[in-house]
Chain A
Amino acid sequence: MFAFEISNIEPERMNIMIYRILDLEKKNLKTKSINREKIVNKIERIIIEEAKKLR
């Protein structure tokens, strides 16, 4: 269904992304220290950072 296929997907990189996202969610669940908009931005940054390391 994607218009582009992910050309160089690395399972390890994906795992790191997932781990970091879940960790962020777990911390935030306890204290709600950041709001929805901020957490969305943080997750986006995780994906951008990890995707950059692929190239």
Chain B
Amino acid sequence: MQIKTLQLENFRQFRGISKLEFSCDPVKNVTVILGNNTFGKTTLLQAFNWCFYGKVNFDQRSELLLNYEIAEEMRLGEQKNVEVEITLMHGNFEYIVTRTQNYTRVNEYTMPKNTTPITRYNEEEKNPSHVKVSYKDLDGQTKALKEHEIKEVINNILPEDLSTYFFFDTERVNSISKRKDVAVAVRGLLGLSIIDNALRHLGDRDKKVSVIGNIYGKMDVSSDSKAQEFLQQMQIATERRQQIAAQIQECKAQIEKYEESKEELSGILRDNEATTKLQHQKEDLEKKIEAEKAKVAGDIEGYFKEFNAGALAFFAQPLLKKAEEYLKETQIEETSVSNLTKATILEILKRGRCICGREFQAGDEIYKHLEAEMAYVPPESVGNSVRYCLEKIHKFFYSAKQTYNRLDNSYKNILHSQNLIQDFEDEVELLREKIAGKENLHHYAASLDNAMYKLRELNAKKDQLHQEYGIQKNEQERFQKLYEATLANSDENKSLMNLINYAEKIREYLDEIYKNKESIIREQLEKKVNEIFSQMYSGERRVEIDESYNVILQAKVSGKEIDSGESEGLNRVKNFAFIAGLVALAKNKILVEHSDKNFILSEEPYPLVMDAPFSNADELHTTNISKVLPEIAEQIIMFVMKKDWKYAEPVLREKIGKQYFLKKITETFTQIE
């Protein structure tokens, strides 16, 4: 494919009709469009995307493609078109792709026809643009493609899945999806769709709109009831097998969905491992704060209880001190026998005999002495009362001291806990600042657990379905053999069966070719991409291409190759090397070898359309890119800032076939010179 022209009508800042003719010269294969920032370089790149795929990616006002000045000038009810037309060569055909969008002024806003003012451009069904594709046949006749064929043809010419590579926006290179499956697009580009389509069209005995299914359906079973019975059994097994196959597909789709989700969540959690640690620390501290607060509450309650119980003794101390001093100073003659009570003396008097054994009579001297003694024994004894009082005072003193010590300790504990709480809260605040905005990681971890659980469940289901599928397949094949053996009696059937055998042999052969080619192509592509990558990057990294044709950077660490991740600059070089490798491979012949006549699957040159290829690149990098570019692609179209051009120009001078300048007239009007 080579792009001959690009014509714009009222597309964004390109007011009126602007046309660019691109160099298709095999030697001077570079077309340069020079312009400063905001002059419309990215708009030109987007014009390709819009024309081919109906999609644009502008930072501002994506919904309005019509030139803003024209939109403002339109009267109510007036209509204007935005149109982009690309002429290109692909194979031996010349194609013209034209995309148009009609705008009508419906009120103070200018909006696409049949839409409301709030309609956004990207919602294609609400805001349709119309695309037409015509091509010149080998005999020079121009034919228009039917509407439903257009998307497929454009995708065959330049697959949409690879559009971000072919229309390479260097400054938005990160928008290229890392995990997108571009396998179908790459295989298509390298000619494998031809074999793939042939395989689909040959089909199998179950598919009615296929060669094999068609011939199989022509077999006559009406005369043989046994054959009909086998056919019926075979159809039941086939139907069941197809149902199971659909369930397996559904299961696989779900597995893929959960795998993607698992990968994404693991990535988020991996990227935020440090945050997770901080979050755990924060949670631990929060728990400690809660525990400490509970302890303080208990301590305060204990403090008040202690206070209530010991306050009397404590606050009575000065008074009791005075009482103690007074009582100590009081001289009371203490003649009584210690611990002798009035009741004891009364008992002795009643007995009439002293403890020492002497007998006495009421009224004698001993009797009177004992009677007198009663005045000094409790409860009447003042001395004893004083002694008891002092003992009690001392107990009070002891209790007050204990109360003081306990309250003091308790108060210190409360203060200590409150200090701890303050420290913990300060730390939590610090952690909160560090993890601000990333606090929802638990939610991701829970979602990851859920995804893993679902994956286990789905994989088990898939295994079970595969088993059932195998059983039904055996059944189907068994009845098929019986059916075919029964049919062999008819000559017509025999001849049809022969054709089926041929078709199946061809399918088998092509299937094998497809698998071989696919693996060879991926190997060659990886080699080519690494060649180009090493010309532009000096380091230990190498590029690996996986089964979905994703490009992964590998670095050697301790003798092992690991997925090394990438910076924006490296990502740019990597993606550039990928598309350059793909383009370089596509222009070489990709063959199906036959005994005497090889079949050429693909031998197609491809262009590279690049916006700001030297953006942020140093002199060496710019020189490297400038050397590599014209060698790998048949056609280079690049939009370059004037300041970036000074290092590239000396290298590319001999290769420039056409050169244009963008001239900014106003903010919303650019001319091409």
Contact = CB atoms under 8 A, between A and B. Distances in A.
Interface of A: 1-7, 9, 11-12, 14-15, 17-19, 21-23, 25-26, 28-33, 36-37, 39-41, 43-44, 47-48, 50-51
18 contacts: A4-B497, A6-B498, A6-B505, A9-B502, A14-B502, A18-B592, A18-B594, A19-B597, A22-B194, A22-B592, A31-B135, A32-B145, A32-B146, A32-B152, A40-B203, A43-B202, A44-B215, A48-B499
Nearest to B485: A3
Given A3-B497, A32-B152, A47-B499, 4 more contacts: A25-B194, A25-B201, A30-B135, A47-B506
B599 A22 contact: yes
Contact of B209 (A18, A32, A36): A36
Interface of B: 90-91, 93, 135, 137, 143, 145-146, 149, 152-153, 156, 193-195, 197-198, 201-203, 209-211, 214-215, 477, 481, 484-485, 487-488, 494, 497-499, 501-506, 509-510, 592, 594-595, 597, 599, 601
A6 B201 contact: no
B176 to A, nearest CB: 26
B193 A3 contact: no
A19 to B, nearest CB: 6
A23 B149 CA distance: 20
Given A31-B93, A47-B502, A18 B510 contact: yes
Contacts of B485: 3
Contact of A15 (B477, B487, B499, B594): B594
Contact of A19 (B137, B210, B599): B599
Contacts of A17: 502, 506
A3 B517 CA distance: 31
A23 B595 CA distance: 16
Contacts, number: 115
Given A2-B501, A9-B505, A29 B209 contact: no
Contact of B501 (A4, A12, A25): A4
Contact of A1 (B202, B477, B595, B597): B477
Given A14-B505, A31-B145, A43-B201, A51 B498 contact: yes
B365 to A, nearest CB: 146
Contacts of B498: 4, 6-7, 51
B197 A25 contact: yes
A29 B193 contact: yes
Contacts of A12: 595
A51 B502 contact: yes
Contacts of A11: 595
A23 B503 CA distance: 16
B488 A44 contact: no
A26 B656 CA distance: 33
A30 B506 contact: no
Contacts of B146: 32
A14 B509 contact: yes
Given A30-B156, A32-B152, A3 B502 contact: no
Given A40-B201, A40-B209, A21 B481 contact: no
Name the residue in A4, A6, A7, A28 with the highest tally of chain B Cβ atoms < 10 Å from its Cβ.
A4
Given A22-B194, A31-B135, A51 B595 contact: no
Nearest to A32: B149
Nearest to A19: B599
Contacts of B91: 30
Nearest to A13: B502
Nearest to A3: B484
A8 to B, nearest CB: 10
B650 to A, nearest CB: 40
Nearest to B503: A47
3 nearest A-B pairs in the assembled complex, by CB-CB distance: A3-B484, A32-B149, A25-B194
A23 B597 CA distance: 12
A40 to B, nearest CB: 5
B475 to A, nearest CB: 15
A12 B594 CA distance: 10
Contacts of B481: 1, 3
Nearest to A8: B498
Contacts of A26: 194, 601
B227 to A, nearest CB: 12
A34 to B, nearest CB: 10
A30 B210 CA distance: 21
Contacts of A37: 209
Name the residue in A3, A12, A18 with the highest tally of chain B Cβ atoms < 10 Å from its Cβ.
A3
A31 B134 CA distance: 9
A22 B198 contact: yes
Nearest to A21: B198
A26 B595 CA distance: 20
A46 to B, nearest CB: 9
Contacts of A19: 594, 597, 599
Contact of A32 (B153, B497, B594): B153
B233 to A, nearest CB: 16
Nearest to A33: B143
Nearest to A2: B501
Nearest to A26: B194
Contact of A14 (B499, B506, B601): B506
Contacts of A9: 502, 505
Nearest to A22: B599
